[in-house]
Structure formats: C-alpha cells, structure tokens
Structure 1
C-alpha cells in the first residue's frame, strides 16, 4: 500500500465509532442483475460488434448460476472465525430484472419487470437457485440485502434502447451492457437513484417502495441495510428506507444526484453517523477486486488495508463485486478470484485468530448496541 493510499485509508478509518473487536465484513454488489446473462449472448454481441469484450463488467459479469454459488459456498464455509462461524458475504441484490418479452409484446411502449427467480428460470434453474439462496441464508454464508429493485433507471434504459442502435441489439439479446458503446447517444441508466428532474425523483420513490416490498417477497424478510447502485442517491429516499425496515447505510460515501450536483459531488459521513431518520452509516475501507487486475497481489493489498482498519479500531468492510465470482463467462476469472479469496480468508484467520465474520445486518446491529469503545 503506497503512502497516498495509506493516508486515504487512515483518514476514512480514524473518525467516528470504534471497537476493539476484529470484525470482517464482505459486501458484494450486483447479485441478481441480468447484465450479460450467458456465454451465448456474450459471443453473439461480440460478433455484432458490441464491445462487451472491452469492459471487465460485460466481459466477466453475468447472471449467477448454481455452479457459481456452489463454488463460492465451498470456499466460504471452509473458513471459520473465533466463534466457529463461517466466512460470509453480504450479497447486495436486485430482486427484479426487465421482462424483455413483455416489453416487446407491448411494442416497447411500457416497461415491465420480472422477479429475479423468473430470470433464473429462463437462464439456469429456478428450483436450484431457490435452494441455494435458502442454504446461503440459513448458513449465513450468502446473505442478501437491498441494492435497488433493478440495477437500472427504467425510463433512461428504455430511452437508450429506443434511441441507440447498439443498445437495441443488446435488448434483442436480453442483455444490459451499461457501458460506452462508442455512440454519441450514451445514457447512463445503471444509476437507479439518479435523477435529472422532479418527475424522475418521484418515480424513484415509487420504484424504491415497490422494490423493498419485492425484496421481502423474494427473500422472505425485510432488508436492514442498503447501498444505492453506483452510490448515487438523494436524501429524499431516507424516509422511505426507514419506513420500510432499513436501518443501515452500507456506504457513508454518497454521490449526489445530477439535479443536486451535475458533477455528482461527494458527501462523506463518518463511522457511526446517524441521520434524522435514525439510519446508521459506515464505510467500506478495504478493496478486493481481483478481476480488475489479476497481476496484483490482492491478498497482500487487502491484508495491509485490513490491518489499517484494525489499527484505528474499525471493522474491515471489504468491497468485492459479483463479477469476481462469475464463471460461466470466464472460468479463469472465477478460478483466479476464488483462489485469491481462499488465500485471503486463510491469511485473515491466521493473523487474527480472534477475528469475527459478520454480514452487514449483523455489523449494523452490533454498532447500534455498542457504545463508542
């Protein structure tokens, strides 16, 4: 870790709530989102000149399969903390995706969505995925929390599909690239909580309430924590979150919506900050993204960042997106990332035998019930 990174991490870690416990939380975004659903779609888009092979998210990230979860579960369950609890990943999830067939049937005039389990039915196995999600929750190795209804702004996405030929090609293949396709009409539709005007702001509130209710229907319980897609959100959603069971913001670094700041200005809150609705905030202070650069020693880098967090009495909250663990688009990407995760967890337990693995809900509950130690 170079001096600039060390200074930034230390600044994030020194303020606010602290604890003598050695706590490790892994927060992983984007689960449930279609993105590039399968290898056939990826190959078809490459042949049509869509640059999905030029961006790591479209090259590696796609709808998870039973095989993806089975490989990840094996590694997580093999590492135990001081209390003999397995390593756990908080999977920030999207309970819905666009229903491409219904949108087509409506002549592209109206947006429709489907449950993530209906998406699984189309692309892998609904029954197998339901069983694996249930196993992950029961064993606390794969614990879902709310990331939005879909990983997109529906109106913007529909506009992109209707005005950009390459986006329409992706739509025809049931894919959501969300990348620069080299056209002059690029529209960022992945930021579900961004807004350009008051009408979009109101639609976000409606979709948020619907999404929180759908999350409870899909997973069987309310989400207690939340992180906005691309970390862009306005404060207007906090009352809705609090009124629907959410108690914790996973990311105290907030990017402001376009209407409030055209450059998406950043607002940083400290560890343990509580807003007027009682929502509690913390920061992600460790990065584990092997798919970004497989030539880096991610274990060494993460261990240094974890040590920095513990030095300032903060839990190590590891940021690690889904694309690291998806294998049906790139077996090598998955294999390399899984090996690195296995090595990282082994190193953590060895260096800090008193470590405690928690999911985000457990971290929030612990922080809420613990005074500043």
Structure 2
C-alpha cells in the first residue's frame, strides 16, 4: 500500500469509485450444491461460500442502501457492475456429448427464474437513475477452452463440476483440483487468442443488446489477460480498461515481459487505464475491521491526489446462500459511505467510465 499511489494522473477532486465483479455469472446455484463441496466454513473460501446469482431481493436491498445516502449536490453513491452476460448451457453441451460449447445469455437465465422480470426491471431502473454502470467482465466467468478440453477428455473433476453446474474449483474443497476454470482469458497457447477475440465481441454485444447501451469499460476476471487483445476491445467500443499495476501476460513469465500500469495511463491502442487502490470486502474474514481498512487506503489515495477505486465483489451483496451475511455487508457498506461523506463532504461518486472520461480529458 505504501507505493500504490505514487504513479498516475492526479485529480483535484476527491473521487470514489466502487467496482464490483462477477454480476450475472454462476458460481454455486444453491445451498445444497454449495454444502456438497464446502462442508465447513473456510476463510480462504469466503467468496465461494457466499457467492451465487443475484436475486431481485439482493438488487433491491443494494439499491435501497445506495438510495438512502446523499452526498455532494444531493447525489447518491453509485456502483460499477462488472458483468459476465452469459453462462454455459449445460443441457445443450451434454446433448452434444461435450463436443461443442453452448451458452445461455443473461436474459435466457432470467427467463428460467421466477424473479427474472423483476431483476431485469431493477437493473434498468438503476441504469436510468445512473446508480450503476454495467461494464464487461468477459462473456462468461469461465475459461471455455480449458473446460471443454477437459470435458471432452473425460476429466473426472471437470465432469464432477459439470454434474453440479459449477466450474469454479479450489483444491481446498475438491481434492486434486489443479485449476478452477474461472480465468476467462488465461491461455495455454497463442492459438487461443482468436477464440478470445470472439469472446470479447460476443460478450460486449450481448450486454449492449440486453441493456440498450454502449459498453465502454472492461476488466478481465481473475487477472490473466493478454494485452494483444486490447485492439479487439477498442474495435468493440471499449475506451477504458481495468488492469493491475504490474501486469503479467499469460505465457510470458520473464521479468522483462511485465508491464507497469498506473491510473490514467494510455495504452498504445488508446485505452485509458484504471487501477484499483482500495479493498472493501466486508464478507471476507481476512479483514477484522473492513471499514477502517478501506478508510486507510482511501486516505492514502486522497493524500496523493488520486481517486479511490474500490474493489468489492458481488459475493458481499447476495444472500441466497447466506442472507444474514448479505445484510451485515450492506450495513457495513452504508456505514463506510456515510463515514466517507462525513470525513470528505466534497467527495464525488463516479462510475468507472465517468472516471475514465475525466482521466482521458485531464
């Protein structure tokens, strides 16, 4: 944390951006399947323990929390939802004898839920009220190439997950699991780049059609991502990209391959880079005091005239697997935002793309 805010563009305004990953994606579908794999709570598996597809009740509770708070100019706090707009269609994949990958879009997933229409309406209302931005997080939160190869080759662990409609493994709850399949853009060969370009084009198109928008922000899931894909992002309308400060391209582990990024840096393709510098994961047992942990990082960002870009995953704010924990996280979120406004009443809340516009034009 000591050096994270030294490089990058400065902003005169104190800015808060909440980025929240994994919306729209599957993890464990219900408690029965979760408990089948995770019998006892493990702090290293906290996200697996709580994360599942968002319900209408989850969205309503989060949006009510944000609407209840007013900041500068009587404006509400806002979130950037990093979305995976499709998931595997398990039925069709099985019918193909695991030879072909098929997906179901976000809208198709909603069609199979009793609260699907309500979920869609809540998303659209939040977009209209500028309470959220929907960014791109990969077509699925799934490495399709690795997963399908293992399914075709009758890998026992891949098929165990398939039978339970889950692929996000950990060796901590599935013995001998060597990979989780959740890193969408990880590669074992440069030949996979072409398929991932299609992933980008199709995924962004699904979001744009679903929400009648032009998606402009992208953040790769789980980190692995080859920068040669940047041109495809630009071709599909992306202007801003979330990257770690020290980026490693897959298949290029040498020190001289590492790329240094900072907030506001422009890539050779013209993408404006946004880097995160604050963690707020209230459901994680790793942080005994998540509010003060986040406030210290925000203070350091503002000290160096940097925006505070906060990482806070969906797992904190969904309650189908543990509604009590969701409610605790929402209370902590409310308390954090209220403390931010009290300490820095001039603070402005932005989405990632709104910050991107500011950085690009500064």
Q: TM-score, normalised by structure 1?
A: 0.90
Displacement of 1:222: 2.1
Given that 1:23 and 1:358 are in contact with CA atoms closer than 8 Å, whether structure 2 keeps it comes out as: yes
Q: 1:318 aligns with which of 297, 310, 319?
A: 310
Given that 1:153 and 1:192 are in contact with CA atoms closer than 8 Å, whether structure 2 keeps it comes out as: yes
Displacement of 1:254: 5.3
Given that 2:46 and 2:284 are in contact with CA atoms closer than 8 Å, whether structure 1 keeps it comes out as: yes
Which residues in structure 2 correspond to 1:1-373 (within 5 Å)?
5=1, 7=2, 11-43=3-35, 45-46=36-37, 54=42, 55-161=45-151, 163-180=154-171, 181-184=173-176, 186-253=178-245, 255-261=247-253, 267-293=259-285, 296-370=288-362
Find the aligned partners of 1:236 and 1:200 in 2 and give their Cα distance.
12
Q: 1:268 to 1:245 in 2, by over 3 A?
A: same
Q: Which runs of 5+ in 1 are unaligned?
A: none
Q: Over residues 135-180 of structure 1, what are the superposed CA-to-partner deviations in whole Å (9 max), with x where a residue is unaligned? A: 1111122221001100011121223445443432332222233322
Q: Over residues 62-108 of structure 1, what are the superposed CA-to-partner deviations in whole Å (9 max), with x where a residue is unaligned? A: 11100110110111111122122211110000111001111122122
Q: 1:331 to 1:104 in 2, by over 3 A?
A: same
Displacement of 1:326: 1.1
SS state at 1:128 partner:
helix
Q: Which runs of 5+ in 2 are unaligned?
A: none
Displacement of 1:366: 1.4
SS state at 1:13 partner:
coil
SS state at 1:229 partner:
coil
Q: RMSD between aligned alpha carbons?
A: 2.1
Find the aligned partners of 2:114 and 2:242 in 1 and give their Cα distance.
30
SS state at 1:292 partner:
coil
Find the aligned partners of 1:158 and 1:182 in 2 and give their Cα distance.
19
86-95 or 174-183, which moves further after superposition? 174-183
Q: Over residues 17-67 of structure 1, what are the superposed CA-to-partner deviations in whole Å (9 max), with x where a residue is unaligned? A: 101201100001111101112224324x34xxx669542222111111001
116-125 or 134-143, which moves further after superposition? 116-125
SS state at 1:26 partner:
strand
Given that 1:23 and 1:357 are in contact with CA atoms closer than 8 Å, whether structure 2 keeps it comes out as: yes
Displacement of 1:125: 2.4
Q: 1:100 to 1:265 in 2, by over 3 A?
A: farther
Q: 1:255 to 1:122 in 2, by over 3 A?
A: farther
Find the aligned partners of 1:227 and 1:190 in 2 and give their Cα distance.
14
Q: 1:265 to 1:33 in 2, by over 3 A?
A: farther
Given that 1:31 and 1:322 are in contact with CA atoms closer than 8 Å, whether structure 2 keeps it comes out as: yes
Q: 1:250 to 1:257 in 2, by over 3 A?
A: closer
Q: 1:353 to 1:185 in 2, by over 3 A?
A: closer
Find the aligned partners of 1:157 and 1:33 in 2 and give their Cα distance.
16
